[in-house]
């Protein structure tokens, strides 16, 4: 192997011993976070003790799959957002109708980066969400016959769940204060009308009022929570209980069902770990990771997310490829920004077949095959590092659950996000990584990863449905 490549790839590999240590560090932060919460402190404030935010979801009821009715959701987690109408048909079946939009496209005339830009006042963002919902409500007669038999008639004020996939301090199910933006979103930062520090349920309800939209926010949830809830509703009866929700797309995060939540002073049983901010000296961050962090919108923040999530993998692959100092590669990548889809196409490249990525096809055309193979090896190493880190965090969460509830011998993890759902090799690696770490800890638990498409939108509607009935 080319010595330059060997060095770079080696800097990305996680040995089994290191994975065990990372898993143990994660368990330590998790346990410390619970204790801090129990004593009235804020997990995540002193990152040397606990860098996970461990937020209360205020969710107490996990649906059984038997609920029937109609409810709405708004789902915002990155540069896209959508309004969802969910028809709960019982027997774990949910029909959804949705309309989605991109924040970039919607406000191109107003500001080139769209509504995620720091100079856009927060109210504009919430106005845009509410209009998306209005559009869907105006077409609500589209409910399919089969389901509407069980569903409620359209109420005058529709119950709504808001999936807002950013760290929020949740005072109750329908009051959630945004702690900080992540995923490079900055709306309102440079204006008088900020979103950070504000209750996003209130901002949304005020936008409904401004636009005379007959909807009431019953719940604000994180997308991980939505995924756990909708997996619990939809999974087959033979599957083990769904106790963990994982998102691995633009951003990444985990929530889990904590059996002793009340003892640690939580109102709900589901804790949103906000593990994007996980930081421990044991984490393998090298020169390129530090460079990427420095040029991000939140240097020093979201260290774990910057190693694992889709928002950053393309950029990491680009930066590593440029480290090779190959003039032809530099030439190509100076005028093109790789995204995570390109990186995945590169990592799984088969020389005989064309890929879905234009830039990767160009690489194959103009670079010598030996160079393309080097880029492929680098890209694969970055994906594998991400998958191994995710395995460490999930194994640590499973170990937390089974250590304190030894009767649990099998559990499901609801999984959503394109990074894990669209890359089979990645999914497999995470599945094997979790089992192997649990075994190394001397424990036993069958863990099943269940793909839960659209979990965040469906979950919000489900939670709002249950809340509007209690
Ligand atoms: C956010 C989390 C979210 C995750 C996945 C992270 O950047 O902080 O709240 O769950 O992205 O969307």
Q: Is 252 in the pocket of ligand 1 (CB under 6 A)?
A: yes
* 289 and 210 within one domain: no
Lowest pLDDT segment from 37-51, 52-66, 282-296: 52-66
Can you tell me the distance from the alpha carbon of 417 to that of 243, in angstroms, rounded to the nearest whole number?
Answer: 18
User: Could you tell me the CATH number of the domain that includes residue 301?
Assistant: 3.40.367.20
* 120 and 32 within one domain: no
* 104 and 13 within one domain: no
How would residue 150 be classed by pLDDT, with cut points 50, 70 and 90? very low
* 72 and 26 within one domain: no
* 407 and 263 within one domain: yes
Model pLDDT, residue 17: 98
Residue 61 lies in a domain: no
Q: Look at residue 143 and tell me whether its pLDDT is greater than 80.
A: no
* 407 and 267 within one domain: yes
Model pLDDT, residue 466: 86
Region 1-27: mean pLDDT is 90
Six token digits for residue 99: 């309309």
Q: Which residue has the higher pLDDT, 431 or 92?
A: 431
Model pLDDT, residue 155: 60
Torsion angle of alpha carbons 28, 22, 293, 76, nearest 10°?
-70
Q: Look at residue 244 and tell me whether its pLDDT is greater than 90.
A: yes
Residue 60 lies in a domain: no
Cα–ligand 1 centroid distance for 416 (angstroms): 12
* 244 and 193 within one domain: no
* 383 and 361 within one domain: yes
Pocket test for ligand 1, best of 51, 52, 76, 77 (most atoms within 8 A of CB): 77
How many distinct structural domains can be found in the chain?
Answer: 2
Q: Look at residue 148 and tell me whether its pLDDT is greater than 50.
A: no
Domain with 140 in it: 68-221
Sign of the dihedral defined by the CA atoms of residues 81, 85, 88, 92, in that order: negative
* 154 and 182 within one domain: yes
Tell me how far the alpha carbon of residue 432 is from its chain's centroid: 21
Q: Please tell me the residue having the least CA distance from ligand 1 atom 2.
A: 166
Residue 233 lies in a domain: no
Q: Which residue has the higher pLDDT, 267 or 468?
A: 267
Residue 406 lies in a domain: yes
Residue 208 lies in a domain: yes
Total length of the chain: 470
Cα–ligand 1 centroid distance for 51 (angstroms): 15
* 48 and 76 within one domain: no
> Which atom in ligand 1 lies closest to the alpha carbon of residue 167?
9
pLDDT tens digits for 156-212?
Answer: 788 999 999 999 999 999 999 999 999 989 999 999 999 999 999 999 999 999 999
Q: Is 247 in the pocket of ligand 1 (CB under 6 A)?
A: yes
Q: What is the mean pLDDT of the chain?
A: 91
User: Could you tell me the CATH number of the domain that includes residue 122?
Assistant: 3.30.420.40
How would residue 299 be classed by pLDDT, with cut points 50, 70 and 90? very high
pLDDT tens digits for 253-273?
Answer: 999 999 899 999 999 999 999
pLDDT tens digits for 370-420?
Answer: 999 999 999 999 999 999 999 999 999 999 999 999 999 999 999 999 999
* 415 and 274 within one domain: yes
Model pLDDT, residue 187: 94
Tokens 């990592």, residue located: 347
* 373 and 284 within one domain: yes
Q: Is 77 in the pocket of ligand 1 (CB under 6 A)?
A: yes
Cα–ligand 1 centroid distance for 407 (angstroms): 31
pLDDT tens digits for 317-369?
Answer: 999 999 888 999 999 998 888 999 999 999 999 867 778 899 999 999 999 99
> Which atom in ligand 1 lies closest to the alpha carbon of residue 224?
10
Q: Please tell me the residue having the least CA distance from ligand 1 atom 12.
A: 251
Q: Is 183 in the pocket of ligand 1 (CB under 6 A)?
A: yes
Spell out the residues 6+ positions from residue 457 whose beta carbon is closer than 8 angstroms to its own: 73, 75, 82, 84, 86, 96, 98, 163, 226
Residue 461 lies in a domain: no
Model pLDDT, residue 379: 96
Residue 401 lies in a domain: yes
Model pLDDT, residue 109: 58
């Amino acid at each position: 192997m080319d010595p330059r490549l060997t060095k770079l790839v080696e800097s990305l590999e996680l040995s089994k011993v290191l994975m065990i240590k990372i898993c143990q560090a994660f368990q330590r932060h998790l346990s410390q976070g619970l204790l801090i919460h129990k004593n009235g402190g804020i997990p995540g404030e002193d990152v040397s003790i606990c860098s996970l935010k461990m937020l209360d979801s205020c969710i107490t009821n996990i649906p059984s799959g038997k609920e029937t009715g109609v409810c709405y959701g708004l789902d915002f987690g990155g540069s896209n957002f959508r309004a969802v109408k969910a028809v709960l048909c019982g027997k774990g079946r949910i029909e959804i109708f949705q309309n989605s939009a991109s924040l970039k496209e919607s406000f191109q005339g107003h500001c080139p980066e769209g509504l995620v830009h720091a100079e856009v006042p927060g109210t504009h963002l919430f106005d845009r969400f509410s209009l998306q919902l209005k559009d869907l409500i105006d077409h609500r007669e589209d409910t399919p016959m089969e389901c509407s038999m069980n569903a409620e008639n359209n109420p005058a004020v529709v119950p709504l769940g808001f999936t807002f996939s950013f760290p929020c301090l949740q005072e109750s199910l329908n009051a959630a204060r945004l702690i900080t933006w992540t995923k490079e979103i900055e709306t309102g930062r440079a204006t008088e009308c900020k979103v950070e520090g504000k209750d996003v349920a209130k901002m949304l309800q005020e936008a409904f009022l401004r636009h005379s939209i007959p909807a009431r926010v019953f719940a604000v949830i994180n997308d991980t929570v939505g995924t756990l809830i909708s997996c619990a509703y939809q999974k087959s009866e033979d599957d083990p209980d769904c106790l963990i929700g994982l998102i691995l797309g633009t951003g990444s995060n985990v929530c889990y069902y904590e059996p002793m939540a009340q003892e640690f002073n939580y109102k709900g049983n589901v804790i949103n770990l906000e593990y994007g901010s996980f930081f421990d000296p044991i984490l393998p961050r090298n020169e390129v990771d530090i460079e990427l962090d420095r040029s991000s919108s939140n240097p020093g923040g979201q260290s774990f997310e910057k190693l694992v999530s889709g928002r950053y993998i393309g950029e990491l692959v680009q930066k590593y490829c440029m480290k090779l100092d190959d003039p032809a590669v530099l030439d190509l990548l100076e005028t093109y920004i790789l995204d995570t889809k390109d990186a995945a196409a590169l990592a799984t490249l088969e020389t005989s077949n064309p890929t879905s990525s234009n830039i990767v096809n160009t690489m194959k055309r103009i670079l010598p095959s030996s160079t393309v193979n080097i880029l492929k090896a680098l890209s694969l190493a970055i994906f594998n590092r991400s998958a191994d880190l995710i395995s460490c965090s999930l194994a640590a969460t499973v170990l937390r659950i089974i250590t304190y509830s030894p009767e649990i011998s099998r559990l499901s993890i609801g999984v959503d996000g394109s990074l894990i759902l669209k890359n089979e090799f990645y999914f497999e690696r995470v599945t094997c990584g979790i089992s192997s770490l649990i075994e190394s800890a001397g424990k036993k638990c069958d863990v099943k990863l269940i793909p839960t498409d659209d979990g965040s939108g469906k979950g919000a509607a489900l939670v709002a449905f249950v809340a509007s009935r209690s």
